[in-house]
Structure 1
Amino acid sequence: MEPPRPRKTHAPRRYLTALLAACALASASLVTLAAPAPAAGTAAAAELIVNGGFESGLSGWTCSGGSGSATGNPVHSGAGALKAAPTGGDNARCSQTVAVRPDSAYTMSAWVQGSYIYLGASGTGTTDVSTWTSSAPTWQQLTTSFRTGANTTSVTIHLNGWYGQPAYYADDVSLLGPGGSTTIPAVPTGLAVTGTTARSVTLGWAAVPGATGYDVYRADTKVATVAGTSAEVAGLTPQTAYTFSVAATNSAGTSARSAPVTATTGPDGPTGQDPTGLPKRVMTGYWHNFVNGSTALRLRDVPASYNLVAVAFAEADRSRWGAITFGVDPGLSTALGGYTNADLKADIATMHARGQKVILSVGGELGAVWVGDDASAATFASTATGLLREYGFDGIDIDLENGVSPTYLATALRAVRAQIGTSLIITMAPQTLDMQSTQAAYFQLALTIKDILTIVHMQYYNSGTMFGCDQNLYAQGGVDFLTAQACLQLQGGLRPDQVALGVPATGRAAGSGYVPPGVVDNALDCLAQGTSCGSYRPTSTWPTIRGAMTWSINWDATAGYALADTISAHLRSMP
């Protein structure tokens, strides 16, 4: 599913003690960096942080997992300060995005109290910076500086603690430098509930002038970021009351939240809910655990337009047949300023709070995991189950492009499900050639585990010309190719809710087969309703066709999420 790349060697898991040991050579006290003097002709420094003293509660700030609150004791100055409480899976990250100017110097600071407190800036366009203290029994100032890149118009300033440590306090947060050209948008109005199901709520609100996006909150947890004026919040519990609010954003920052609204989900239907917790229609994307020229993303930065995220990839542990291993790739960790296994686990918990599901993809183009006998099947099952439980993954994706054994891999997957339970998501990502016949090994695997299989995301790309279910040849890259290949799976025995269309996010994401998102929408309508078809029209329709997949979220990010925004909105509009 990706261009060839060197095999990665994963770094060992980093515990807090290892982190502290690695930092031992740094000064135990804080180094205060002086603000660079502005060059001649540059704009004068201004205070860019909104509500840096927390005198207006958390207005302008977003804290992960509802970890932050305003407090009146202790404070460094004024009447308010921030209190943020980490947990075992959340480092209590509180952040604010501000407008800046390209190629300009900035100094940031914050007064903090507590243990293991970090102040940093990301999205600088140069080198993201961070400073920290292991112990501040009284108020202590953290200070650092950075320079923006040639095209940088906004940066995110953040404070965070460390997993499982006591609450920390912060006050008088400051960012000094030339301001950007925009202002923070007004508070959204008109928030209303426009629809409910047993496990989702749909919201709408009035557009805010100057806003480029909107953050949706369930209680105090941000659960979605959208570009338009509506959002569907999924993954809810039937017959339960929820409170929602929305804030407007642009490069200058984030508004205060709107007046809240309350919605109550409906009861489950007579047939019950999918035990995996996935919605009727699913938008799936692969997230890169490596760097390859696309946008490097922290997992928590994946937008809510993706219902299901496949983390790519778990790889073979060469010491044992069938064993797989996984950890944050060292190259990605460096690119993201020190992203760790603990960060990834915390991000998975954050995505769960938004209603998103995260699975572990095994293999990839160069994946060589061998499951060919009972012993290797047992080893695969035990190592896969261990990784799923350790990181909190919701399931597993089989993307072994170098061959599979239907008998033994089916045995392994059933063993994993026996350990995890009916909520386990199992997906597959075969190449187009792998699904041309029910006698092909991948198709046999899908049919063998059909009773526990969630979705097949066949790769409708890098394929050339293929026969469709009407025995005519179709070239990749159009509606006919998508519908005629999907028909093969449907007539071959898969349920419609197990079939999704896998496409590249951009022309650079695959060697061939890219189609605009609107073509995917047309193919979905053709398969579900018999409308928007090309020259090929299937002899029947499949109204419960599941959705779409893309390789990859990172490539989609390079195009401003044009694919996910278009297709996910269309999936929500389908009957």
Structure 2
Amino acid sequence: MPRRRRTWAGALVAVLAASALSLAGAGQASAVDVNNAKNAGYESGLADWTCSAGSGTTVSSPVHGGSTALKATPAGQDNAKCVQTVAVKPNSTYTLSAWVRGGYAYLGASGTGTTDVSTWTPDSSSWKQLTTKFTTGSSTTSVTVYTHGWYGQAAYFADDMSVFGPDGGGGGDPEPTIPSAPNGLTAPSTTSSSVSLAWNTVSGATGYNVYRGGTKVLAVTGTSATISGLAASTSYSFQVTATNAAGESAKSAAVTGTTRATSDGGTALPKHAVTGYWQNFNNGAAVQKISAVQSQYDIIAVAFADATSTPGAVTFNLDSAGLGGYTVDQFKADIKAKQAAGKKVIISVGGERGAVSVNDAASATNFANSVHSLMQTYGFDGVDIDLENGLNSTYMTQALRSLSSKAGSSLIITMAPQTIDMQSTSNSYFQTALNIKDILTVVNMQYYNSGSMLGCDGKVYSQGSVDFLTALACIQLEGGLSPSQVGLGLPASTSGAGSGYVSPTIVNNALDCLTKGTACGSFKPSKTYPDLRGAMTWSTNWDASAGNAWSNAVGPHVHGLP
């Protein structure tokens, strides 16, 4: 597990956040509202738009709606700013919205006569909607709306711009109407912890909301979704709605999806779980056998598997000498005993010095085969991905899906990315997690050895506070992971990491803030996530060195969450 963290991103996010305002909630247009923007979908090229330094053009792919979209490319000292002057009415409120993807993308309005506004998003590999609101001054009859990228970053794409509010007399695009309810909803496949859904496309819809038992659990832009973190052998009722700028449709007809039983007849993870890394080496922390790991830990990640000379393949070598003569037979027996007590024991791949590389089809196959072989040899329940020196999303996805096909639906897959790895859904770690969402157990991001990072509200937070934990977790929770797939990773003591240790009280406060909306700092999530999976620590050994103070405090709190 890493004891250091790259901090170069802290300075970058601080600069970017200085020009960003918090994301305002999207509002439903009223009956008299119109879209005051002209050529809002760029279907007429760049008519009505002006882009700085010739940075803009229209493209036929990718597009969010219609046949074309804007592509604008920053270069040198130019941030690829594209603007339009929009006619508005004085003393009126407008909702500004656009769909963006690609590099860093900003959306804003200036010359409002009151407070100018802007919002932004880091690079994104899929379309994402940016929305904010502004109010015009008493004599304001036009405002400038704009998109732009960021210096030195990749090109961004924009489509379906809207400035909804009272008709200023110059609008061009008609107001959308609320879409009809989706039909054709089915549950084509299930695992022991997930249900996959699919439905028909709805004309005019820009997104869809998925409801489980009447409660919204997911928002997507496509016509399929996988709901994870479910209990085995349980039936769930699902409905779907269609959305666009005008509002949300009625719910579809309900469909029932029933999860499968665990394939090995084993005990499923509790709703809220604690993960701890067990050290297969002596670095000054308490030397432990698996049998001595505190009972509060639900998932024990054995650190670490070792790379072999075969690309992508890993092996495991018990450090018997360093662990006081711990034998392989004792190790295997202790794993079985933990499993009999309802615990999961997995093998972790990577760490600070890990050199495992999965970057082509052959190494992906080697990885899957070797991990599966370790599972059969030692009885491991799954694998933890803690690669800190690069991860190829395409081939790690392929490797984990291959492993899943071999191991079955009881496979445990966890991840331990660094904070920088989860700042954007386009980052390789985040993308891998989303790619395997239907078989992923939990992502325990490491909230330590980190520089300052952006929260989901566009503000910069420094490690060591409740806000750092909650505002960064929010990115994962709003970026597509199920709450049951999000955990908070913290050091068990000051010796467990170079920086970022917080007291168990801070950890518990962050858990309460995210699940119940209580004990928050200055950042308070827009909603609660009662299905949040729990917490992780490096390591069970450092925890034992400190008298198990971390697990004695955090463990019962996690297991007592709603």
Structure 2 length as normaliser, TM-score? 0.54
- Amino acid of the structure 2 residue aligned with 1:295: A
Which residue pairs with 1:458 in the alignment?
Answer: 445
Contact 2:418/2:446 (8 A) holds in 1: yes
Q: From the superposition, tell whether residues 534 and 279 of structure 1 become closer, same or farther in structure 2 (CA, over 3 Å).
A: same
- What letter matches 2:405 in structure 1? A
- Rounded Cα–Cα distance in structure 1 between residues aligned with 2:2 and 2:545: 15
1:399 is paired with a residue whose SS is strand
Matched residue of 1:489: which SS?
helix
Q: C-alpha root-mean-square deviation of aligned residues, in Å?
A: 1.9
3-state DSSP of counterpart to 1:382: helix
- Aligned partner of 1:470 among 457, 477, 493: 457
Structure 1 stretches of 4+ with a deviation exceeding 2 A read 1-4, 269-276, 334-337
Describe the shift of the 1:457–1:237 C-alpha distance in structure 2 as closer, same or farther (beyond 3 A). Answer: closer
User: Any unmatched runs of 5+ in structure 2?
Assistant: 5-230, 234-256
Q: Which residue of 2 aligns with 1:407?
A: 394
Residue pairs, 1:374-413, within 5 angstroms: 374-413=361-400
Post-superposition CA distance 1:136-190 (Å, at most 9, x none) = xxxxxxxxxxxxxxxxxxxxxxxxxxxxxxxxxxxxxxxxxxxxxxxxxxxxxxx
Of residues 291, 316, 337, the one that matches 1:300 is 291
The answer on 1:551 being equivalent to 2:538 is: yes
Is 1:508 the counterpart of 2:517 in the alignment? Answer: no
Which SS does the other structure have where 1:279 is aligned?
coil
Q: Does the CA-based 8 Å contact 2:262-2:409 persist in structure 1?
A: no
Does the alignment pair 1:347 with 2:334? yes
Q: For structure 1, list consecutive stretches of 5 or more residues without a partner in the other structure.
A: 5-235, 239-268
Task: Please report how far the alpha carbon of residue 409 of structure 1 lies from its aligned counterpart in structure 2 after TM superposition.
Answer: 0.7
Aligned amino acid, residue 299 of structure 1: I
Asked if structure 2 preserves the Cα contact closer than 8 Å seen for 1:309 and 1:358, the reply is: yes
Q: Of 277, 282, 297, which residue of structure 2 is paired with 1:286?
A: 277
Q: Offset at 1:508?
A: 1.0
Tell me the equivalent position of 2:301: 310
The one-letter amino acid of 2:278's match is: W
- Residue 492 in structure 1 maps to residue 506 in structure 2: no
Report the TM-score when normalising by structure 1. Answer: 0.52
Q: Structure 1 vs Structure 2: percent identity of aligned residues?
A: 57
Tell me the secondary structure at the aligned position of residue 508 of structure 1: helix
Q: Is the 8 A contact 2:452 2:460 kept in 1?
A: yes
Give, in angstroms, the shift of residue 471 of structure 1.
Answer: 0.4
Structure 1 residues 480, 274: closer, same or farther in 2, change over 3 A?
farther
SS, match of residue 310 in structure 2? coil
Amino acid at match of 2:316: F
In structure 2, the CA distance between the partners of 1:272 and 1:386, relative to structure 1 (3 Å rule), is: closer
The answer on 1:325 being equivalent to 2:315 is yes
Displacement of 1:337 in angstroms is 3.1
| 2:468 equivalent in structure 1 | 481
* Contact 1:310 1:360 (8 Å CA) reproduced: yes
Please give the residue correspondences for 1:183-222 in structure 2 after superposition, counting only pairs within 5 Å: none
What CA deviation, in whole Å up to 9, does each residue of 1:479-503 have, x standing for no partner?
Answer: 0000001001011100000000000
Deviations 1:243-273 (A, max 9, x none): xxxxxxxxxxxxxxxxxxxxxxxxxx97677
Residue pair 2:282, 2:323 contacting (<8 A) in 1 also: no
Query: Match for residue 403 of structure 2?
Result: 416
Partner of 1:40: none
Is 1:425 equivalent to 2:412 in the alignment? yes
Q: Give the corresponding residue for 1:526.
A: 513
2:436 to 446, 449, 456: 449
| Equivalent pair of 2:281/2:323 in contact (CA under 8 Å) | no
In 2, Cα distance between the equivalents of 1:478 and 1:272? 40
Q: 1:344 and 1:573 mapped to 2: Cα distance? A: 31
Q: Which residue of 1 aligns with 2:158?
A: none
Distance in 2, Cα, partners of 1:373 & 1:350: 37
Say whether the 8 Å CA contact 1:2–1:509 is kept in structure 2: no
Give 2:357's match in structure 1, choosing from 361, 370, 383: 370
Alignment of 1:166-181 (within 5 A): none
1:515-567 deviation digits (Å, cap 9, x = unpaired): 00011111011001111100110111111000000000000001111111111
Q: Distance in 2 between matches of 1:305 and 1:562?
A: 11
2:558 maps to 1:574: no
Which secondary structure state, in structure 1, belongs to the residue aligned with residue 347 of structure 2?
strand
Q: Which amino acid in 1 is paired with 2:507? A: V
- Per-residue deviation, 1:350: 1.1
Confirm whether residue 565 of structure 1 aligns to residue 552 of structure 2.
yes
Q: 1:3 and 1:404 mapped to 2: Cα distance?
A: 19
Question: CA deviation digits over 1:409-437, x for unaligned, max 9?
Answer: 11111111101100000000000000001
Distance 1:280 1:273, change over 3 A: farther
CA distance in 1, matches of 2:493, 2:261: 34
Change (3 A) 1:568 1:308: same
Letter aligned with residue 433 of structure 1:
I
Cα contact 1:327–1:341 (8 A) shared by 2: no
Distance in 1 between the 2:418 and 2:2 partners? 12
Q: Per the alignment, do residues 270 and 407 of structure 1 end up closer, same or farther by CA in structure 2, a change over 3 Å counting?
A: closer
In structure 2, what is the Cα distance between the partners aligned to 1:522 and 1:387? 38
1:3 Cα deviation after fit: 4.1
In 2, Cα distance between the equivalents of 1:348 and 1:284? Answer: 15
Q: 1:274 to 1:491 in 2, by over 3 A?
A: farther
Q: Kindly indicate whether the alpha-carbon contact (under 8 Å) linking 1:480 and 1:534 is maintained by their aligned counterparts in 2.
A: yes
What is the aligned residue count? 310
2:423 alignment partner, one of 429, 433, 436: 436
